[in-house]
Amino acid sequence: MNVTSKKVALIAATLLTTAVFSANALSAETSLTTGGYAKQMHKMELMKMLDADGNHMVTLDEFNNFNTSVFDELDTDHDGTLNAKEWVGKTIGEQPISIATGGYSRELRKMKMMGLMDADGDHKITKDEFLTHQQKIFSTMDKSNDQQLDAQEWIAKHVGGN
């Protein structure tokens, strides 16, 4: 192998690695959310609602606090789990979550998202299942791995489609 073909091979290998990495990042979030959910999640409007201290960064603490509040709001009988009735509300879209956007609320409360979060498959979402799942989403978004999301990380699209 001469120098030129070595160089070409190196570039090809680098491109391949990049492609594999992107595919992994893509499937990581795709397996955690629906396309509709991801679309609503990455909106700046929602980021502002999670950024409690308004410093344009969403820390893991702020993220957890938001999700704890969402869970508590949906858990209308206060038994620490969400059943399907609590998840979707009386009528889908009728009761938006007060601290989130309407679009986010609508996408979260779809049965498909409930299924993705139901780690043990008992048709109930515990607070632990909910927060653990949300933290996985946070991790896929936190590319710099500093436990906080800046606006660029927030709006970055990890999923294709709609």
The residue ranges of DSSP E strands in 5-143, in sequence order, are: 57-59, 81-82, 125-126
- One symbol per residue from 89 to 128: x for binding Ca ion (CB under 5 A), - otherwise; what is it? -----------------------------x-x-x-x----
- In eight-state DSSP terms, residue 24 is H
**Which one of 30-38, 42-50, 106-114, 140-148 is the stretch in contact with Ca ion (CB under 5 A)?**
140-148
| DSSP one-letter string for 113-146 | HHHHH-TT-SS-EEHHHHHHHHHHHHHHH-TT-S
**Which one of 9-17, 60-68, 102-110, 146-154 is the stretch in contact with Ca ion (CB under 5 A)?**
146-154
Residue 152 within binding range of Ca ion, rule CB under 5 A: no
For the chain, the maximum distance between any two Cα atoms, rounded to a whole number of angstroms, is: 72
Chain positions contacting Ca ion, by CB under 5 A: 75, 77, 79, 86, 118, 120, 122, 124, 142, 144, 146
